[in-house]
A and B are shown apart, each in its own frame.
Chain A
Amino acid sequence: MKKLQNLPLYGVVFAILFFLVFPIIVVVIMSFSDSRFLTFPPKVFSLRWYESYFLDPAWMRATRNSFVLAILTTILVVPVGTAAAYGAHMCKMAIMRHMQLLLLSPVIVPVIIIAAGLYMVYAQVGLLATKLGLVLAFATMNLPYVFISVLAGLRSYDMAQEDVARSLGVSRLAAFMKVTLPQIRPSVMTGALFAFIGALDETVISIFIAGGENQTLPSRMFMSLNDEIDPTIASISTVLISVSFALVILMSLRSPKKANG
């Protein structure tokens, strides 16, 4: 009886879930199709769109750039974000809430506004289309995610352990590195994952400040999508989907408790 009452609900839910995954399935199938236009199901399967991605030097350079930038961003933002989260957790001063809100400003301010302002500032100081400029921007944009993730880890961690280590004569830094950090590592890793995927995917900022030698993958994809619908995008998308999923699954396997991030 109860099951039957719920049937319409589950029908609606199934339809909505289908709506959510449909475009992704379409992109993956499209990437293996032989034609410029998607016929469903595709008549001939082929890898031609993967060839036109992997054999194109410009696409390859953009891909390499994006991965290098994402790695550099993660290396910069994880220590900075972790230090800030530790400071926020330990500091009892009233000013802290305002400081935290400042740190969250990259998610509060719409990205188009940051991109526009950054374009003007970078043009003035000569940071447009430079690796340094891009890494600084990507790191700041993803700082809140590292901060929030590490702070959540610290809140569920018993600080008394660090105090014990310190009472035994270990310095605060050493106590943090040897006692606290190993135990909050899953949250630090989650933060790092957010930062890496976020930097790989940073599109609007890229559109404004990347270019030339330092073109990024998302900004090249955007330009290509604005021109014409090139199915090479489908193969690139499928590669990107695979990468972010491999990372997310790897992460949830390592820390079963925090599967939802």
Chain B
Amino acid sequence: MTDMPKLSAIERTEQRSFLLLFLPALILVALIIFAPLGKLVVQSFQDEGAFSLVHYKRIVTERIYWSIFVDTLEVSLAVTALSALLGYPVAYAAARASRLWTGLILAMVMLPFWTSVLVRTYGWLVILQRRGIVNTTLMDLGIISKPLELSHNYTAVLIGMVHVMVPFIVFPLYAALSKIPPELAQAGNSLGGTRSYVFRRVILPLSAPGLLAGAVLVFVLSLGFYLTPELLGGGKTIMVSSLVERNIEQYSRFGAASSVALSLLVIVLAIFWVVDRVLPVEKIIGVK
């Protein structure tokens, strides 16, 4: 048992050559991911050419910065909860339905998944704008006399983000749910368990890994989400991502942008680090 197969010299050279195949990919990642991260680190600790902690201090002391972080966490939590709530029935139905229906349901989840986020956000703008479908329909029906402010607010951001995130929950959940044999629920029912009891005690625990994988992915994606909050929020709901963008493009405050970006990164990595104990990171992001 204990004697590990010793690698011969030839095998060791070969193993190292496999590592070499990794090199081009590593160079790309080093140039495009790690060099920029390094640049952010340097910028975030610098003020007027000297070492300084002023940019990190600002996040803690300035109310606006602090509250944008809190808001971002809140929005992301809400989006995750809503996406799970909407994603679960869809995944469940897809796992239980006949082959034809499974295909149709999954196709209807794939359709938005493969459509650009920009396109989908535009769709919601058309639906929710002042003279959009919802307002004109409600006015035609005489239910309202003045158009409602439906876009450019918190609710619009939530709707748009949930719409983007639901497929990320459905796919891993469907994978987990379709592995549960239907006989298990039948057995539970025949032993006198009510449907909701069997669901809570059998189905839900067995699908938990899929739910967790989807939820973590959605939460982390939401934390850094930029397009939908920017376009549907109308400047009211500013997420951390918008704070980074504004500091760069509008004010050219690279130090402030860098410290905010890196703080967000620390939060994201901490989440992955904690979850990795229960569920390998590869499992979570292998979804797509």
Interface residues of A (CB under 8 A from B): 5, 9-10, 12-13, 16-17, 19-24, 26-27, 30, 37-40, 79-81, 83-84, 86-88, 90-93, 95, 99-114, 116-121, 124, 136-137, 139-141, 143-145, 147-148, 194, 197, 201, 203-204, 207-208, 218, 221-222, 225-226, 229, 233-234, 237, 240-241, 244-245, 248, 260-261
Contacts and interface: CB of A to CB of B under 8 A. Distances in A.
Contact of B15 (A93, A197, A234, A240): A93
B187 interface: no
Interface stretch (B26-34, B51-59, B203-211): B26-34
Query: By DSSP majority rule, is chain B's interface helix, strand, loop, or mixed?
Result: helix
Most buried by B among A88, A107, A148, A208: A107
Most buried by A among B28, B221, B268, B288: B28
Nearest to A231: B126
Interface string B106-133: 1011111011111111111111010111
A258 to B, nearest CB: 13
A20 B112 contact: yes
A82 to B, nearest CB: 9
B230 to A, nearest CB: 8
Contacts of A92: 15
Contacts of A91: 15, 18-19, 22
B112 A80 contact: no
Contacts of B89: 9, 12-13, 16
B93 interface: yes
A225 B98 CA distance: 41
Given A9-B93, A21-B111, A225-B231, A114 B33 contact: yes
B234 to A, nearest CB: 10
A204 B227 contact: yes
Contacts of B121: 225
Contacts of B68: none
B37 interface: yes
Contact of A197 (B93, B114, B258): B114
Interface in B27-45: 28-29, 31-37, 39-40, 43
A142 B62 CA distance: 37
Nearest to A81: B25
Contacts of A100: 282
A20 B39 contact: no
Contacts of B133: 26, 38, 40
Interface residues of B, number: 86
Query: By DSSP majority rule, is chain A's interface helix, strand, loop, or mixed?
Result: helix
Nearest to A89: B18
B131 to A, nearest CB: 4
B166 interface: yes
A107 to B, nearest CB: 5
Most buried by B among A30, A86, A87, A222: A87
Given A20-B112, A109-B268, A241-B115, A13 B261 contact: no
Contact of A23 (B32, B43, B127, B241): B127
Contacts of B111: 20-21, 24, 245
A196 B224 CA distance: 23
Contact of B227 (A9, A139, A144, A203): A203
A181 B131 CA distance: 54
B180 interface: no
Interface in B234-252: 240-241, 244-245, 248
Contacts of B28: 80, 136, 139-140, 143
Interface string B261-274: 11011001100100
Given A27-B119, A116-B248, A229-B129, A19 B86 contact: yes
Contact of B223 (A12, A24, A110, A248): A110
Contacts of A147: 25
Nearest to A110: B224
Contacts of B262: 113
B286 interface: yes
A100 B276 CA distance: 14
B195 interface: yes
Interface string B2-28: 000000000000010011111011101
A149 to B, nearest CB: 9
A104 B136 contact: no
Contacts of B285: 104, 107-108, 144
A40 B20 CA distance: 59
Contact of B22 (A30, A88, A208, A245): A88
Nearest to A27: B123
